Structure formats: structure tokens, C-alpha cells
Amino acid sequence: MRAKDIMTSPVATLPVDASVLDAANLLVSTVQGAVPVVDEWQRMVGILSEADLMYREEIGTRQHRSWLRQLFTDEAQLATEYVRTHSHHVADLMTRTVVYASGEATLGALSTLMETHAVRQIPILRHRAIVGIVSRKSLLRALIAGADAHGQPSSDEETRDAVVSELNRHGWSAAWPKNVVVADGVVHLSGFITSDSMRDAYRVAAENVAGGRHVEDHLQIAPASAGMGV
């Protein structure tokens, strides 16, 4: 799946000359946690999130600094904080450097952007115009859809082959021989591993491949002094 497959579209936007009250009303009435700000040609020039409106003088949520902290705070920073807590113009509060992606971005790329830049929403652009937005909830919906669509092996033999293939393709899989037996829908794992973390990884791999089938763990942790042998 790609961004275009899971994005919310159309997207509620704000004009660059909107007021803070306009923004608050829109954020309350939409499921979006952030609203792209657009110019007269509908090109995105910034984004305003709920967090940008949390600390306001009007509702008494502005964070007050002690006189000592003010003494050691740069004047430019104090001025910036004043503007963000007192201005009534969206243009003064919006984030101008926006993290965005194209409709062809993979879900992996989107989740990496969210984690790297600590953002909850990624606007999706086409030729600088906003065409959608992807949020963390969008990724959760993709997870649910993927689980529903994922086909599971039908026979014991197919399940065993799929589990063995999954274990063999990961770097954490032990060099020790693995024994996978599937009988009457139950997956039995046996052999030697080197840690409890590896035990968990084997179990999760088998559960994911086998779907709702039960997994029996017969794995043993090999002694530190043990060798593979030939």
C-alpha cells in the first residue's frame, strides 16, 4: 500500500489569512489533528496543529516563566513565545517548514517520517497542492485492512513450509538446526536457540505465518559452551 491508498481526502484547509478562531472552529469540527494552510492558489504554505493552540493567553494556559527563568531566557525566544500565545493570525502560529510526501510514498517511508520528525500527520502533495493527509490513524486502518486481506496457509504441510521459510530469512534466526512440525493445526517448534528474545521471535514468526493456529514452544537454550558440530 502507498500513501494514496490510505490518505484522507479531500482535506480541510485554512487560508493563510485565517484567524486563530477560524482555526479553532475548524479543528473542533474535523477529525484532522492538523490543518494545512494554503495560499490563494491552493498551494500549501504551512500547517497548524491542535498543539499550536494549546497555550493561549485567552484561556489561561500560557506557560508562565519565573522571574529567574526569564532572566536567563533569550529575548528573541521570549518575543517568539509572546507572539505564539497572543497573536490572532494563523500565519504567525503555523509551522512553515512542513514534512510532506507524495501519493506514491510507501507506508514504511511515512512511518519513518513521522518518527524522525515527531509529527502525527503527513500532508500528501501533488505539484505543491494538497491532495490528502495521512495520520497515525491512517496507518492503523491499513494494519486492520492488511490483516483482513492476508491469506493464511490451509494445510499442515503448507503451514510448515511457510514457517520454515519465514525463519530462514531473518538474521536473528539461530544457526542451529530448526525443527518445525505442524500436526492437526498445531505448530510445534523445537531445536536450540541462544536467548529468550530469540524464543519470542520464533514464536511471533510462527504465529504470523500460521494465523490463528496454536504454537507449541519446545525450544531449548543452548549452553554457552556448546558448539554446532559437523
Q: What is the pLDDT of residue 211?
A: 64
Rounded to an integer, what distance in angstroms lies between the CA atom of residue 48 and that of residue 95? 6
Same domain, 160 and 142: no
Identify whether 230 is part of a domain: no
Decide which of 92, 112, 146 is a domain's last residue: 146
Same domain, 172 and 112: no
- Domain containing residue 181: 156-221
Same domain, 138 and 204: no
Q: What is the pLDDT of residue 171?
A: 82
- CB proximity list for 226: less than 8 A, separation 6 or greater: 192
User: What pTM did the predictor assign?
Assistant: 0.64
Q: What is the pLDDT of residue 71?
A: 61
User: Would you list the DSSP string of 92-103?
Assistant: HHSBSS---B-T
Rounded to an integer, what distance in angstroms lies between the CA atom of residue 26 and that of residue 216? 52
Decide which of 146, 164, 191 is a domain's last residue: 146
pLDDT tens for the chain, 230 residues long, are: 899 999 998 899 999 999 999 999 999 998 888 999 999 998 999 999 998 998 888 877 766 665 556 666 677 877 878 888 889 999 999 999 999 999 999 999 999 999 999 999 999 999 888 999 999 989 988 887 765 555 566 688 888 888 888 888 888 887 777 889 988 889 999 988 888 999 999 999 888 886 657 899 999 988 766 555 44
Same domain, 173 and 217: yes
- Count of domains for the chain: 2
Same domain, 129 and 210: no
Identify whether 89 is part of a domain: yes
Q: What is the pLDDT of residue 27?
A: 92
Identify whether 229 is part of a domain: no
Q: What is the pLDDT of residue 168?
A: 87
For residue 193, the domain's CATH number is 3.30.1340.30
For residue 75, the domain's CATH number is 3.10.580.10
- Tell me the sheet residues that pair with 46: 37
The CA-based diameter of the chain, rounded to the nearest angstrom, is 76
Same domain, 130 and 206: no
Query: Which region holds residue 125: left if phi is over 0, alpha if psi is between -120 and 50, else beta?
Result: beta
Rounded to an integer, what distance in angstroms lies between the CA atom of residue 184 and that of residue 203? 18
35 exposed, middle or buried (CB, 10 Å; 0-12, 13-18, 19+)? buried
Same domain, 45 and 128: yes
Identify whether 227 is part of a domain: no
Identify whether 151 is part of a domain: no
Rounded to an integer, what distance in angstroms lies between the CA atom of residue 154 and that of residue 52? 51
The alpha helices in the chain, defined as continuous H runs, are 3-6, 20-29, 67-71, 75-86, 90-93, 107-117, 136-149, 156-168, 196-210
- Reference 180, options 142, 219, 131; nearest CA is 219
Decide which of 99, 121, 146 is a domain's last residue: 146
Q: What is the pLDDT of residue 152?
A: 60
Same domain, 137 and 56: yes
